[in-house]
Structures are given as C-alpha cells and as structure tokens.
Amino acid sequence: MSTTPRFRIIEVSVPPSLDAEPSAAIIARSEIETEALREVLGHDDLADPPSTIVAGLADQRHSKKLMLAAVEDDGDTGQPRDPAQILGYAGFMLPTDDNVHLAVGDVMVRSSARRRGVGTALWEAAQDRLRAEGRTTVSAWTAHAPTVRDGVETLEAATGVGTIAATDAAARFAVRHGFALEQTERQSTLRVPVDPSQVAAWRAEAQGKAGEDYRVVQWQEGTPAQWLEPMAELNRRMSTDAPTGGIDFQEETWDAERVRHNDEHIAARGHRYVLSAVEHVPGGTLVAYTMLVMPRAKPEVAYQETTIVHGEHRGKRLGLLVKAANLELLADAYPAVRRIHTWNAGENDHMLAINIRMGFELASVEGAWQVRLDASGTADAAVGPGKESVASQPAPAG
C-alpha cells in the first residue's frame, strides 16, 4: 500500500448490498466525476450519483470491481468518514467470464488536489493490484472538447481517425504513464422530442426496405423469456463485430442468465430502459436491436446503449428501423427526456451517418487508451473497447 507525507492510498470497501448507504469514498467519487465532466463538457449528464456507483461496485457477478482512493493523511488508518478527505480515486472493472486479461477503468483527481502526485500514486497502486489479479491490459476513456483550437498540439488515434489536444490534462497524464491513444469516439447529443412525423417517415422508409420478413418487437425493463437466447447471441456478436481499432478485446461469453443479469443490473443502478428489436420472421429469431437507458436521477437524460445488426442481415436499413422505432417508444414511455447521448467509433461511418441524419450533433470526443502491464512494472501501449458500438451495413457502427 502506497503512502506519502500528505496522503495515503486505500482500497475502498465493497458495499455490502446493491442498495447500501454510500460511503464517504463513494460520495467523493461522484463529486470528483461530476466536477471533471462539468469542467470538460459543461454539464453533468454523464456523471453517476452515489447510489448508482454503490450498485455498480456491489454487483460482482460477471466482473470484479476495484476502487482505490487517495485520502488526506490525518493520522487515521481506516476508511475515511468525510468525502472532503478524498483527493482522488482509481476505479476498475475486471471481467471474470471472458477477457480475463483486461481491466477497464479510470483515475480522477479533485481539481484542488492536482499537481500533488495524487494521480500517479493512485495509478502506481492500481498497477500492483491489477497485476496481482493477473491483468495484463488496461484500457480507459477520457473526455475532450469536440474541437481542438488552432495552434494546439494534437494527438491522432492509431486508427487515423480523430484527434484530441495533446495539452489536455488527461492526455498528458495518459501519455506520461505509457498509455497509447488507439481510437477516438464521437460523443453526440440528440435533442428530443424529434418531430413525430419525421420519425414515422424514417420508420416507414426502413420497413419498406426491409420488407415483410422483418418485424419490430419492443419491451421495457425486462427481456421476455422467448428472446433471452437471441439477445445473448446478438450481444456475443456485438463483442466481435464492433469496430475496435487495435483494441485487445476478445469475444464475450453471453447466455440467457447474463441477459437477465444485465436487466437486473440496469435496474439496480437506478436506470430504466426501452428496447426495440427486429425479428426475422422466417427464422424466428432476433437480428437487430437498440437500447436507450434512462437514469431515474436525471429524467431529462437518456444514454444510447448497444445498437447492432446481425452481419447476415445488413443492407436492409434495420439500423434506421430500430432507432426510429425506439424513438417512438421513448417519446411514449418517457416524455420528459430531452437529451440522448451516444458514442460511436470515429471510423464507424455508416452508423454515424444514420445518427447525423437523425439530428445527433457532435458534443465531445472521447479518447480510448490502453497500456499493457508486465511483471516488471513497465508498460507497453495498446487500447480497449468503447462505450457504445453498433453494427450495421456495410460496417460495424455505434
């Protein structure tokens, strides 16, 4: 465990239940994340409240969760009791069903505690813990302004698509600690409601192209039993079909239980969802779906989660079909929503074209970073998967 004369690094206790009272460290994590996102984006739509963080840490069925915190040194050695004591945190998700080489997470520091070595101390302590867990690859995402000012040095993603300012604090930290920028994601925002007649026209256009062999099915909150296995298969394909650049991300293992658990996990984190899928009627299975997730704590906000079209059914505008259908369902079920946020790999031209057509506007850019750990403590650069990727004709899209 790392120590300094000014602060100490602790491992934060895992909450005893999904609905446990947030500890001081978890409250601080929400505060730090909110501050950082407001600083870069000008809003906190993407920040999690403490209750959501509790549920995420407590649920370790398909991934282990690790959180470290830098605590102002007050002579105590236990868990902190005051959120103000927390100077920064490092949080990581470690898959346990697949991708067991991987850790996904981030390091954030309060603005008032920067330039004190807090982030470096957290990352060094995290590396020790991740190595002990057998992890050799770490990926992380950083938020950046949508455009880079003239004259500012830039970093280009290894995919050749997308740049971020090399002078951004997050980029400097990542580069200094051996991370490489492998991919950028366009984070876009759609203001809703969209004109209902326009959404209906998109849906009719797409249905006309798809034909009678394809029909839309929809649900909220829980996957119907008949669709558990088809959803498992689509999610498995999603893990291999989405554009990942040089990301060291391997096929995920999905079954009906994991689909049910995903539904339960969304609810436990204080979220609701609407989902539209396409059934291939002759085959009796699902070949496309899209999901919007709404945090209860922020009724005006929705997050665009997975969108995928099975590779054998592309070219029929099923991506447009499910997105238009889901906008209709959202407007009917959650009329308070005013903003939808989505993420797409910069090279995902086809799905980006659909989103732009529907009115999504560039809001920020996310950098996807990765570093490989070895036993000696040195690092070789690489990268990991994005938040939302979508497969649709002619190439995977997000």
Residue 397 has a pLDDT of 28
Q: What residues contact 198, with CB distance under 8 A and at least 6 apart? A: none
DSSP summary character for residue 62: S
Percent of the chain with pLDDT over 70: 91
Residue 77 has a pLDDT of 72
pTM of the model: 0.91
> Could you tell me if 1 and 8 are in contact, meaning their C-beta atoms sit under 8 angstroms apart?
yes
Q: Say if residue 296's pLDDT is above 50.
A: yes
Vertex 306 angle, CA 301 and 309, to 5°: 135
Q: What is the mean pLDDT of residues 269-277?
A: 98
DSSP string, 150-183: TT--EEE-TTS--EEETTSHHHHHHHHTT-EEEE
Residue 391 has a pLDDT of 29
- Per residue in 367-383, pLDDT (tens digit) is 999 999 986 555 554 33
- Per residue in 172-217, pLDDT (tens digit) is 999 999 999 999 999 999 999 999 999 999 999 999 999 999 999 9
Q: How confident is the model at residue 67 (pLDDT cuts 50, 70, 90)?
A: very high
Residue 377 has a pLDDT of 52
User: What tokens were used for 384?
Assistant: 């990991």
d(Cα 394, Cα 315) in Å, to the nearest integer? 7
Q: Say if residue 309's pLDDT is above 60.
A: yes
Q: What is the mean pLDDT of the chain?
A: 91
Q: Say if residue 349's pLDDT is above 90.
A: no
Residue 242 has a pLDDT of 64
Percent of the chain with pLDDT over 90: 84
d(Cα 30, Cα 36) in Å, to the nearest integer? 10
Q: Are strands 214-220 and 102-109 parallel, antiparallel or unpaired?
A: unpaired
Q: What is the mean pLDDT of residues 152-175?
A: 95
Q: Which domains does the chain have, with CATH numbers?
A: 7-135 (3.40.630.30), 189-396 (3.40.630.30)
CA dihedral 9, 10, 11, 16 (to 10 degrees): -150
Q: How confident is the model at residue 152 (pLDDT cuts 50, 70, 90)?
A: very high
Residue 380 has a pLDDT of 52
